[in-house]
Every structure is written in structure tokens, then in C-alpha cells.
Amino acid sequence: MVQTSASFQQGEQDQDGSISLSEIISALSYALDLTEGAVHGHALRSCLLGMRIAEEAKLPSDQTSSLYFALLLKDIGCSSNASRMCEIIGGDDRAVKAGVKFEDWTKVGRPTVSSLKLLWKNVLPHSGTAARIGRILHLGANQHKNNEEMIALRCDRGASIISKLGMGQLAAGAVRSLDEHWDGSGYPDSVKGEQIPLLARICSIAQHLDVFSAGRGTRQAIETLQDRSGTWFDPSLVRIAMSLDRRGALWTHCLPGDCEEDTRQAVLDLDGDRRRKLDPGQIDQICEAFADVVDAKSHFTFRHSVGVADAAFGIANNLGLSPDRVQLVRRAALLHDVGKLGVSNTVLDKKSALNSAEWEAVYEHPTMTRRILERVGPFREMAVIAGEHHEKLDGSGYPNHLIEPDLSLESRIIAVADVYGALSEDRPYRAGINLDQTISIMKKLVPKQLDAECFEAMVTLATGRRDVAYVPELKLSDADLMYAFESAI
């Protein structure tokens, strides 16, 4: 077991705002739960379950840290296949991802009643019966190919991010081989037995236990684990998990009804290296990695978070903010859309106008961003700024309809950078708008909705011109203006 550190009170932080790797990763793991439609806190509970199995298995101490972060970050590649999943099924990627975890998808061509019900509910839900049946039959015929593609996307992407974060090959290998099965029926490489990395075998069991206990109760989690021993799972590790269950040593702080703060505290207590704080560059690297996770969810938002961060960084510098405030703005911009991981790609990739229910899902994402980021003590101001990126000076923004006195300069900077980035980028329903037209559209929103000083700094950054009076005025109807502005979601 990783050495237990001293007690940590939730929200406590050093005077200098420093933070440990486990504190930031355990908080941001909630964002990864969103991508899979998992029950809130899935990554944390999986971490506790996996680490208990590892302790009982006497995992070598030089591997425990790798396992710890592999368990917390096992789903970090999941956003990369969301758009493709949505395209394949023609429905809600998150709902299918959540439901398919209860199915034995290795039995190609032998669908269960429950898997057929899952497909019927989610495949082309707004189409006619014939189209839905045709798509389900097509999915059945291409099941192996689709499984291989979906899992390879998430596993390869996840392992790549883990490596870039400097967490080592053991952790990266565990994430890449998460969906391999003991009998060789898994993906992406169909390896079997002890050829599967030990850490991946532990992660796979921990994931199974939490998914089933959250969805169907601990008894079915254990029974299904036993049923799949020797096929999906390493029999020796299954025996360990069952022994822990019989002794009442498996599920503490690992049930969905348990206090989330207690669960996270238990996870943090497993990190004996938590007294070692990250330097600013390491924090930036983690923010950049999660920005990539967000942007990977839809090819229409490829590099959106990074682009907004670059624009916000430039605006903040042009306005003469101090280096620490510029850094705060950049980090908030990188993570401003992390709540969008909870929005289905049926909404994000939709080519026609959104309906009221779909807009409600969109309106929720800044609130979710704030809730995730404020779990990190030193990120609490950043959480407020990032959560206000769709607010407007006249109260017409969302989610809280704040007005000018309520909004900090940092929040105004990111609002301008976000609109600039979104208008410039391709969207499912329109091509990206050229620079002159983007500036013209935005100028019509100044100073009523967007801050004039921030807008001028953005124009300077984008064009090198110091005087926005020389920006060409393009003739846009009110309908065109509203369409362009609302599309900047």
C-alpha cells in the first residue's frame, strides 16, 4: 500500500497556493466520470477498490504509485471516441457508454435481451422503426470492428496523455490495456493471461466492481465478477476481491451513497507523496492535458480550449495584468469548458438548431465546470472565473445572468476570448467566420454584452491594429447576428 500521509482537511491549502498531484487529479477525475456517463465519483471509488486489491495481492511498492494514478485516470482517453460513438449509433454516446458496461460485448453475434433493449432505446431514437432496425442490424454485423475501433481510440489516447504527464510506462500500460480480458477476448491487442499488465488487470476488476455496485448493487457486482473469472478477469485477483468482500474490507467509502468528501479523503490518504507539491509548470501541464481531453470530445472543438487560452493570455498581457493574474487567466481558459464533458455529442455535433432540452444541457456546462474546479482548494478563484465564461455584462448570459458589477476583469477577458474563438472555428451548422466578420459581429456586442477594453485588446492581438475604429463594418441582419452569437456555445 502507498504510505498513508498525515490527515488532510478538505479545502486546506498551503499559504502559497501550492498543490499536490493527488489533490488536483482526484478533483479533475470527476470530469472524466462525465465522459462515460458514470455515477459521480466513479474514478475515486475505483481507486479505493483497486488499491485494496493491490495491497492484499502484495503489489510491489515501486508499482503502487503507478497503479494509484492509473486508477484515477483510467478514463482520460474516453472523450476521444465520443464523437465517433455518436456517429455510429446515431444517439447519445454517454448513455450507450454507461449501459454497455453491464453487457458482455465479447459475445459477438449473440446479443442479450438487455443489450437489445439498450440499443433500441438509444440507436437513432428520433428515426422510424425501419431505420432503427436497419442500424441495429448493421451494428451487429460490425460489432467486432466497432469494438476494436472504439477501444483503440480511448486506450491509445489515454496512454499517450498519461505518458505526456510523466506518470511512467507502468501507468500508461495499465490504461492502454484496461479492456484486455484474461481469455484473450478483449481489446485492443487481444492478449491473454499474464501477458496483460498486472496493473491493468487490477484496474479492470476495480472498474467492474464500481460500475456494477453503483448500478445493480454489491451482490451482483461480486456475482458477476465470479461468473467472469477466467474469462474477463484474472482468477487470482478475483479470489482476493471476494475474500475482501467476505471480510467486510472491500466497500468502505466505495458505495454511491457514501459521503463524497469521505471517499475523496480516503483516496488522498493513500498518497504518501502528497507533501511534495507541484511546481507551476507541472500545474500548467495538467491543465493543458485536461484541455486536450475536453477538445477531443468533438472534432468541431479541436484545440478550442487551447485557442481560447492563447487569446485570453494575449488579452491579459495587452491589458497589463501582473504575471500571476495572466497565469490565472490562462489556466481558467484552458479548463473553462471541462463541464462540456457532460454534454452528449448528439448536442455538440448537431447540425440543426438545438431544441429547448438540448439548450438546457448546454446552459448547465459552466456550472459543472465550476463545481469540478472548486474541488481543488487553490483553484477556487479560477473556478469562479471559468464558470462565468458565458456571462454577459447586461445580464443576458448564463448560467447566473450576472451583470457588469458582478464580473471581474479576468472573467470578461475569457468571455471575449471564448466568443472570438468560437466564431472563428468551424461548427456543425456553419463554417468558421473570417477575422473581419468575427470582429464586426463582436463589435456589435460591445459594450452592452462584451467588455470594450477587453475587445480592443483582442483586436490588437488578432490584427496588430491599435484602433478598432478602422475595423470594417459588415452589414449583418439581427437574425444573422443572433445566429452567429448563439452558435458560439
Residues annotated as catalytic (active site), given as ranges: 340
Candidates 280, 384, 367; CA nearest to 332 is: 384
Residue 427's φ and ψ, nearest 5 degrees, are -130, 165
What does 9-47 look like in DSSP terms, one character per residue? -TT---TT---BHHHHHHHHHHHHHHHTTPPTTHHHHHH
**CA distance to 111, 183, 209, 312, 459, per residue, from 220 (Å):** 20, 22, 9, 49, 59
Its sign, for the CA torsion 74, 77, 81, 86, is positive
Q: Which string of DSSP letters, residue by residue, matches 150-182? A: HHHHHHHHHHHHHHHTT-HHHHHHHHHTTT--T
Task: Specify the DSSP class assigned to residue 473.
Answer: P
Q: What is the DSSP letter of 250?
A: S
Note the helical H segments in 191-279: 198-216, 218-227, 235-246, 260-269
Helix (H) or strand (E) holding 281: helix 280-295
Looking at residue 233, its amino acid is F
Query: How far is Cα 31 from Cα 8, in angstroms, rounded to an integer?
Result: 22
**Rounded to the nearest 10 degrees, how much is the dihedral formed by the CA atoms of 408, 413, 418, 421?**
180
Q: Is 7 left (phi over 0), alpha (psi -120 to 50) or beta?
A: beta
The closest alpha carbon to 418, from 361, 483, 366, 367, belongs to 366
Q: How far is CA 348 from CA 141, 290, 315, 342, 365, in A?
A: 28, 18, 27, 11, 12
Q: Please give the full DSSP string across 391-435, using - where no structure is assigned.
A: --TBS-SSSS--BGGG--HHHHHHHHHHHHHHHHS-BTTBPPPPH
List strand residue ranges (DSSP E) for 242-303, in order: none
Task: Please name the amino acid found at residue 201.
Answer: R
SS3 label, residue 104? coil
What span, in angstroms and rounded, lies between the C-alpha atoms of 282 and 286? 6
Strand partners, 430: 427
Number of other CB atoms surrounding residue 435 within 10 Å: 15
Phi, psi of 189 (to 5 degrees): -115, 0
